[in-house]
Amino acid sequence: MLKGLPTTAHDAPVQPPRRRVWRLLLVVISLAVLQSTTNVFYAQSSTHTSEVPLNAQEILDKCTLLNVKPGPPPDFNLRKQSDRFVAGTPPTLIKNASIWTGRVDGLEVLHGDVLLDGGLIKRVGHIEQDVLETYDDLTTIDAAGAWVSPGIVDLHSHQGVDSSPELRGSDDTNSLKGVAQPWLRALDGLNTHSDAYKLSIAGGLTTVLVLPGSANAIGGQGVVIKLRPTDARTPTGLMLESPWEINGTVYDPSLSLRWRQMKHACGENPSRVYGFTRIDTTWSFRQAYETARKIMVSQDEYCAKATSGEWSGLGAFPDDLQWEALVDVLRGRVKVHNHCYETVDLDDMVRLTNEFKFSIAAFHHAHETYLVPDTLKKAYGHPPAVALFASNARYKREAYRGSEFAPRILAENGLSVVMKSDHPVLDSRFLLYEAQQAHHYGLPANLALASVTSTPATVMGMDHRIGFIKTGYDADIVLWDSHPLALGATPKQVWIDGIAQLEHPYTVTKPSAAQHVPERPNFDKEADAALKYEGLPPLEPVHANSNFIVFRNVSSVYRRQGQSVKEVFRASAEGEEGVVVTADGKVVCAGSMVECPSSLYGNHAEILNLEGGAVAPGLVTYGSPLGLGDITAERSTIDGYALDPLTDEIPKIIGGDSAVAAAVDGLQFGTRDALLAYRAGVTTAIVAPESYGFLSGLSTAFSPGAKHKLEKGAVVQAAAALHIGIHYGAGPSVSTQISALRALLRAEVKRPLGNLVKKVKKGEMTLVVEVESADIMASLIELKKDIEEREGSTIKMTFAGASEAHLLAKEIGEADIGVLLTRPRPFPGTWEQRRIMPGLPLSETSAITALIDNNVTVAIGIEEAWQARNTRWDASWAALESGGEITKAEALALASVHVEKLLGVEVDDIESDLIATQGGDPLEFSSKVVGIISPRRGVVDLL
């Protein structure tokens, strides 16, 4: 009776032979019942007789399943309704859209309609009237030619396990109970109440892979979820396809196996946590895989015997609940996601895959993969995909050689590129921005869009239902306000399972140029240099040789005028050319060819064609430790932290409690983040001493392009502003911190702090308060008023950080306090930052416009040093999001003169740096910074 089942465990059919198995099982059970007194019965076969256990069929089922590959049932895409369909969801027609389908390698664009019904995409393209007439309750959206794409898919997120705002009770990212724990599941820690779900949906995200953290070599299993809230309100309800048994550990053979996902991590993170080195971590991988391999071999041997009826002495089926998931990796049923950065680690892992014969779905972070594509191709089974950040690098040794050209180089080598968020490391709401940057630096448009849709869907084994706009796929669709690769692209609507997610989307009209794939500069030379110098190409600017540098074919010229930026020239007529003539680093003429004739510079000038570019004020950065360190995670490369009089015993030698650290004393020049910022048009950086506590010290302004402090013009202003921070959870209570500030401002304080405080009280020095909470800001507004009344002066005060400032926009405006938003696209990272003004499409105004509308001087900044190079995109985004309320000149001011004003840096309009951009103005993706005009240093740097 056992004949007819597969005879070995190795040639099982792809799908479990479920009906037949169950029927046979019933036969076995009824026979067993007949022989009721014993749990062993004797089966006759034509060749031999053996002891067959009562649960023989169950074991044989298990054996059959061992070699079944995961995936949907073969008829999956014939389904009429999604398993996630919510009854009552109206069918929806998106009419007249430009549809990026993800098909044909991401090259297919259809102009037409998309019909959603039953939680599925029913039709794409031209849809006949008689089809539409079968619906009487169709919701119709006229896209008017706008772009639609599949929902954005994030291959690497910690949504829910690292929830927002961050609380002690909500970090369920890692277990610290062991270095290799394949048995853990992110699903078991998934918080359904994170504020980030809704925000990410507002950025077009529909599906994410939630992974455990990287504290362990094997951190456990990930879970693929859709972000929309469900009626069940549970983590289980969010799952896209459950790869786990619902009621036990034995998979129901009547269901298709689904892909599992597992986190691995090599290199620094597991090492740091376990006091390991790389050689320990790699051994822990080998040990774990050897354990799994032994179990797999014993199962296979067991099943070989069982299926040929040799039951005698066979005992129980060999299995181990802790290791079954890793055994499944060896059986090719798990997508392995490997946090792995450096060449040494990548090489180790590729050897491991060949030693134990398993595949890696993707290397994540993977900052050095572009240096070793051939190694990746040697991985067992298939080359891993590579999941990257676009410009977030250099934060630790492993990331030091990270390159913005990695996506392009990997694609040129035929490897699959994914852009990922590592949310909340990057806010996944803006995952598409990573693809936009990758495109800017050379990843082809089709692959850039695929890198956040179809490619991650394919890598996680879900490309049978998400990541594409295809008939029969899940109805996860985004309607965009511009081409998705245009900077600032924002959803006008997001559908998940056919359900519109934005209740009242706010939109603005984008410039018509934004409806096309953005142009981009040529970075061939830079990409070659990244490879040639193994990720560390020389970045130092070169001073121009000639005294006269002339920029021709200039479309617009912006100059600073006091506290603002004005467009002083614009080439109006077709073919009109602007000219900017510089001599010894100073602009001597800017205007038309007639206004600035060549007689001004003769024929000894070096002439640069800006191809319709611009000359504009250099940008200014504040908010990160740029200039006070190289590699954030390496103590030997950073300035370190100021001692704090509220919490530390300050040594007498530095003056006890009245000591003040001055950032100018700790400046480091030539750091890669500073040079990259300079090459991206940031000509002044302002930095305050790093502090964990109340008193930070004196900030300084410097040129990120200078070689050292003693070079002419390297230090723009040695002492800028006095900085303090007031935060919840910082140690002493907030009221203690405020009373410390009050005491400082009311009592006599000894020098040197006393001197600075005196200047603050007289309004001669700006007091910058790092503050996020509106409640703390309210107390500070009162305190300011109180001191001003006592002193009869006006205090210059700036709130920096200031996530919740919009709640007090009017009061802040009345108190004449400036606001420097270090997170111009806000995120509720901590409790005191939680009441954000989210911006489009969730709110009509952004925090920036809300404050501007109340006459507040607003500037934008950053939090981490790598972000400095993206300053021009931040400014541009603010303007785009305002729908024209913020002009280009005002956007430039947000990231230049306003930063200086709010940080107490006084710069002469004529002496301040300018930048020259080719192929567009500094706010456009099409442009590249090619020159820096520095009157104060008397040079023009050509980049």
Ligand X SMILES: *[C@@H]1O[C@H](CO)[C@@H](O)[C@H](O)[C@H]1NC(C)=O
Site residues, ligand X (CB under 6 A): 96, 144-145, 246-247, 252, 553, 609, 611-612, 813, 854-855
Query: How are beta strands 548-561 and 606-617 bridged, if at all?
Result: parallel
Measured between alpha carbons, how far is 714 from 703 in angstroms, rounded to an integer?
5
Written in H, E and C, the secondary structure of 491-529 is EEEEEECCEECCCCCCCCCCCHHHHCCCCCCCCHHHHHH
Cα dist. 489→204, 443, 456, 515, 878 in Å? 10, 18, 20, 10, 12
Q: Looking at beta carbons only, is 123 or 278 nearer to ligand X?
A: 123
Longest Cα separation, the chain: 113
Q: Which residues contact 142 (CB under 8 A, 6 or more apart)?
A: 95, 96
Shortest separation between residue 920's beta carbon and ligand X, angstroms: 9
Q: Looking at beta carbons only, is 26 or 536 nearer to ligand X?
A: 26
Q: Looking at beta carbons only, is 608 or 688 nearer to ligand X?
A: 608
Shortest separation between residue 252's beta carbon and ligand X, angstroms: 5
Shortest separation between residue 612's beta carbon and ligand X, angstroms: 4
Shortest separation between residue 852's beta carbon and ligand X, angstroms: 10
Shortest separation between residue 364's beta carbon and ligand X, angstroms: 32
Per DSSP, 399 falls in state: G
For residue 875, give the nearest of 863, 864, 888, 858 by alpha carbon: 888
Q: Looking at beta carbons only, is 119 or 612 nearer to ligand X?
A: 612
Shortest separation between residue 146's beta carbon and ligand X, angstroms: 8
Shortest separation between residue 819's beta carbon and ligand X, angstroms: 14
Q: Looking at beta carbons only, is 74 or 145 nearer to ligand X?
A: 145
The token pair that represents 833 in the structure block: 């930052």
Shortest separation between residue 256's beta carbon and ligand X, angstroms: 12
DSSP-assigned states of every residue in 654-712: GTGGG---BGGGG---S-HHHHHHHHTTEEEEEE----SSSEEEE-EEE-TT-SSTTST
SS3 percent helix, strand, coil of the chain, rounded to 5, is 30, 25, 45
Q: Looking at beta carbons only, is 791 or 853 nearer to ligand X?
A: 853
Measured between alpha carbons, how far is 106 from 541 in angstroms, rounded to an integer?
38
Q: Looking at beta carbons only, is 659 or 915 nearer to ligand X?
A: 915
Measured between alpha carbons, how far is 308 from 317 in angstroms, rounded to an integer?
15
Q: Looking at beta carbons only, is 4 or 575 nearer to ligand X?
A: 575
Cα dist. 641→309, 400, 690 in Å? 71, 22, 5
Q: Looking at beta carbons only, is 551 or 827 nearer to ligand X?
A: 551
For residue 526, give the nearest of 340, 632, 675 by alpha carbon: 675
Q: Looking at beta carbons only, is 246 or 747 nearer to ligand X?
A: 246
Burial of 315 (0-12, 13-18, 19+ CB in 10 A): exposed
SS3 835: coil
| One-letter identity of residue 418 | V
Q: Looking at beta carbons only, is 35 or 96 nearer to ligand X?
A: 96
- Cβ of 310: how many Cβ atoms within 10 Å? 13
Shortest separation between residue 598's beta carbon and ligand X, angstroms: 14
Measured between alpha carbons, how far is 742 from 780 in angstroms, rounded to an integer?
9
721, 766 in Cβ contact below 8 A?
A: yes
Shortest separation between residue 367's beta carbon and ligand X, angstroms: 34
Q: Quick one: which H or E segment has residue 942?
A: strand 939-942
Measured between alpha carbons, how far is 431 from 199 in angstroms, rounded to an integer?
12
Q: Looking at beta carbons only, is 466 or 851 nearer to ligand X?
A: 851
Measured between alpha carbons, how far is 392 from 701 in angstroms, rounded to an integer?
24
Place of tokens 């059919």: 13
Phi, psi of 66 (to 5 degrees): -55, -30
For residue 504, give the nearest of 206, 833, 238, 838 by alpha carbon: 838
Q: Looking at beta carbons only, is 254 or 739 nearer to ligand X?
A: 254
Shortest separation between residue 553's beta carbon and ligand X, angstroms: 4
Q: Looking at beta carbons only, is 252 or 775 nearer to ligand X?
A: 252
Angle, nearest 10°, between helix axes 278-307 and 343-356?
A: 20
Q: Looking at beta carbons only, is 472 or 813 nearer to ligand X?
A: 813
Per DSSP, 466 falls in state: S
Shortest separation between residue 931's beta carbon and ligand X, angstroms: 16
For residue 199, give the nearest of 929, 720, 826 by alpha carbon: 826
Shortest separation between residue 222's beta carbon and ligand X, angstroms: 22
For residue 846, give the nearest of 809, 895, 799 by alpha carbon: 809
| One-letter identity of residue 171 | D
Shortest separation between residue 389's beta carbon and ligand X, angstroms: 31
Shortest separation between residue 811's beta carbon and ligand X, angstroms: 11
Q: Looking at beta carbons only, is 253 or 725 nearer to ligand X?
A: 253
Length of the chain: 943
Shortest separation between residue 95's beta carbon and ligand X, angstroms: 7
Q: Looking at beta carbons only, is 638 or 781 nearer to ligand X?
A: 781
Shortest separation between residue 258's beta carbon and ligand X, angstroms: 13
Measured between alpha carbons, how far is 582 from 171 in angstroms, rounded to an integer?
55
Buried residues in 536-562 as b, exposed as e (16+ CB within 10 A): ebebebeebeeebbbbbbbbbbbbbee
| Dihedral sign, Cα of residue 890, residue 896, residue 899, residue 901 | negative
Q: Looking at beta carbons only, is 144 or 710 nearer to ligand X?
A: 144
Measured between alpha carbons, how far is 469 from 923 in angstroms, rounded to an integer?
32
Shortest separation between residue 111's beta carbon and ligand X, angstroms: 8
